[in-house]
Amino acid sequence: MPNIKLQYADLTLDRCDQYRTDQYKLQQLWRQQSTRFCVMQNQHTLILSENPNSAQVALLARDTFKELIPKELPSRDLVFLGIAKNGSAFFGLLVDDDSVKQILSINSDYQFIDIRQVGNLLDYTTASLAAYARGIFYWQQQNPFCNRCGSTRQLIHGGHSLKCTNQDCQHLLFPRIEPAVIMLIESQDKDGKPICLLGRSANWPTGTYSTLAGFVEIGESLEDAVRRESYEEAGIRIGEVKYIAAQPWPFPSSIMLGFRAKALTTELKLDPNEIEDAQWFTLEQILQFGTWGDNMHSGYKMPRTDSIARYLIDLWISEQRTEI
Ligand SMILES: [Zn+2]
């Protein structure tokens, strides 16, 4: 296994589910001096960026912007994220346009941006926390009305549940996650050399190739989703399917489940509605790939360093090298 981590998959907080239903405890944590806030404007997170090559999630202390934080725990626009090993509690807080202006005036290096734009620059732990907050807020904002009776909903359980305000209904809604499978398909060429299948979508940066992926359908096992997507997109029949790792992907509400898939066939039959191209590559070819975003490199390029696709490819590369 290569010594690499998966971005967005390194949340070190204890989520402290037991406090979500304890309003007194939540109030106490909200008022603590050591509490930190991951501040968001819609789907944009407050980031500290001193230059184009650096970015970190700005986790604000109460004193930094105390005039803008409600004194008491608000009943909306927040999520209790959990507690760090040092005892500090973390909340996600949504702010309005007026507050945004005031927060940006605190530090000229602050900006609200989509964390995916800087995902490859963020440290694993705070990127995981910011992705978690973003996913929860997206879910809250997408579900203002009860899907049973149409009444408004209120936030409960520290922002982790939505409850219908109609006393005759009181339906509870919990966050939904849409699973997607992503798979590195491997085989051997006619000389017996290991090869893997990478493809690209038409809207990706020029030259970028990555592993195939697709959403899991209702009533489908993960393994079958790998087999179906591989056949639909590239016409490849799959035998053995092995789970490798998962990457939370709350952009807006998914999780990527990474697999290694052994191809039973190698002849490609591409679905142009799904992918623009796919090809089999040897290790030597992949080692010639440029890095994502390198506009000076005119050939094939790797997917983003913060993606599980890259993780799966790096893992395959390291295994082939070990076997040489
Ligand atoms: Zn209802």
Give me the residues near ligand 1 (ion), CB cutoff below 5 Å: 146, 148-149, 151, 164, 166, 169, 171
- The pLDDT assigned to 219 comes to 97
- The pLDDT assigned to 67 comes to 86
Give me ligand 1 centre to Cα 164, in Å. Answer: 5
- The pLDDT assigned to 295 comes to 79
CB of 152 closer than 8 Å to CB of 144: yes
Q: Give the confidence band of 1 by pLDDT, cuts at 50, 70, 90.
A: low
Q: What is the pLDDT of residues 219-256, one digit of tens each?
A: 999 999 999 999 999 999 999 999 999 999 999 999 99
Give me ligand 1 centre to Cα 174, in Å. Answer: 14
- The pLDDT assigned to 2 comes to 53
Q: Indicate whether 324 pLDDT > 60.
A: no
Q: What is the pLDDT of residues 86-114, one digit of tens each?
A: 999 999 999 999 999 999 999 999 999 99
Give me ligand 1 centre to Cα 60, in Å. Answer: 36
Q: What is the pLDDT of residues 142-184, one digit of tens each?
A: 999 999 999 999 999 999 999 999 999 999 999 999 999 999 9
The Cα 181–Cα 260 span in angstroms is 10
Q: What is the pLDDT of residues 184-228, one digit of tens each?
A: 999 999 999 999 999 999 999 999 999 999 999 999 999 999 999
Give me ligand 1 centre to Cα 139, in Å. Answer: 17
What three-state secondary structure class fits 185? strand
Give me ligand 1 centre to Cα 41, in Å. Answer: 28
Give me ligand 1 centre to Cα 229, in Å. Answer: 37
Give me ligand 1 centre to Cα 77, in Å. Answer: 20
For residues 113-138, give the mean pLDDT.
95
Q: What is the pTM of this model?
A: 0.92
DSSP string, 126-175: HHHHHHHHHHHHHHHHH--B-TTT--BEEEEGGGTEEEES-TTT--EE--
Give me ligand 1 centre to Cα 140, in Å. Answer: 15
Q: What is the pLDDT of residues 129-141, one digit of tens each?
A: 999 999 999 999 9
Give me ligand 1 centre to Cα 162, in Å. Answer: 10
CB of 244 closer than 8 Å to CB of 4: no
- The pLDDT assigned to 3 comes to 53
Give me ligand 1 centre to Cα 78, in Å. Answer: 22
Q: Indicate whether 20 pLDDT > 70.
A: yes
Q: Which of 92, 118, 110, 95 is nearest to 11 (CA)?
A: 92
Percent of the chain topping pLDDT 70: 98
